[in-house]
């Protein structure tokens, strides 16, 4: 299973945009559709965190068996849900689709309570 996390800085005054989106698409009337679309994309786990210090950030955690391909497809040929996501990110933080990109992070540390360190990143030149 592949996982990825990335952070999107945003204006804390605009948190209501994110909460409205979640109320409508994740917890509200659009929940069944959002669940089906997300599962259909091959995602197996999605988490959002609101970090407040040292500044407001939306931290997104994603898992899926073909995560890199899924993200490239979502970025390259977005549908209604992806367009809504990119519009939301622009509304809360001013960063649009082209700013976010299809693969926004690189794993640097993976520690597990039973296995210890499971990943060693390549050294930078």
- For residue 49, the SS3 value is strand
Asked if 6 and 60 touch (Cβ cutoff 8 Å), the reply is: yes
The 10s digit of each residue's pLDDT in 31-66 is: 888 899 889 989 999 999 999 999 999 999 999 999
Beta pairing class for 57-64 and 111-112: unpaired
pTM of the model: 0.82
* Closest of 5, 97, 102 to residue 51, by C-alpha: 5
CATH class of 2-117: alpha beta
Residue 56: CB atoms within 10 Å: 18
Domain ranges of the chain: 2-117
The 10s digit of each residue's pLDDT in 75-103 is: 887 778 888 888 888 888 888 888 877 76
Cβ neighbours for 39, distance < 8 A, ≥ 6 positions apart: none
């Amino acid at each position: 299973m592949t996982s990825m996390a990335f952070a999107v800085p945003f204006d804390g005054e605009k948190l209501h945009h994110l909460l409205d989106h979640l109320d409508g698409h994740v917890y509200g009337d659009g929940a069944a559709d959002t669940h089906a679309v997300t599962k259909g994309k091959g995602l197996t786990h999605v988490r959002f965190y609101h970090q407040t210090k040292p500044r407001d950030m939306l931290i997104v955690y994603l898992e899926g068996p073909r995560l890199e391909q899924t993200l490239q497809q979502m970025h390259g040929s977005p549908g209604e849900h992806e367009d809504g996501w990119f519009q939301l990110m622009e509304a809360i933080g001013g960063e649009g689709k082209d700013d976010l990109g299809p693969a926004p992070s690189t794993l640097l540390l993976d520690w597990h309570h039973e296995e210890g360190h499971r990943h060693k990143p390549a050294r930078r030149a």
